[in-house]
Amino acid sequence: MPDEVQTENLVVTENYAAWLSHEPDGETVFHLELGQVTVHLFREEWEELMELIEAAREELRKRGA
């Protein structure tokens, strides 16, 4: 079936999961399952979120936390 969505796990832990779906229109959607919440992000949003997390991690390192 040509409209079938293909999925791929990125990483799964005991409580969380990150996976992606390859949509029929060629778009890749990133999914974060965080307990009871699932977040769906397009590639540009995913990249911005990764930058935010990395910047927050760096800020915590600077503060010694």
Q: Which residues pair with 40 in a beta bridge?
A: 31
For 54, the token pair is: 């990395």
Could you tell me which residues are beta bridge partners of residue 42? 29
pTM recorded for the entire structure: 0.84
| The two three-digit tokens of residue 17, written as one number | 């999961």
**What digits encode the pLDDT tens for the residues 1-58?**
567 899 999 999 999 999 999 999 999 999 999 999 999 999 999 999 999 999 999 9
Which residues lie below 8 Å from residue 27, measured CB to CB, with a gap of 6+? 42, 43
Q: pLDDT at residue 63 above 70?
A: yes
Q: What is the dihedral of CA 46, 48, 64, 37, to 10 degrees?
A: -40
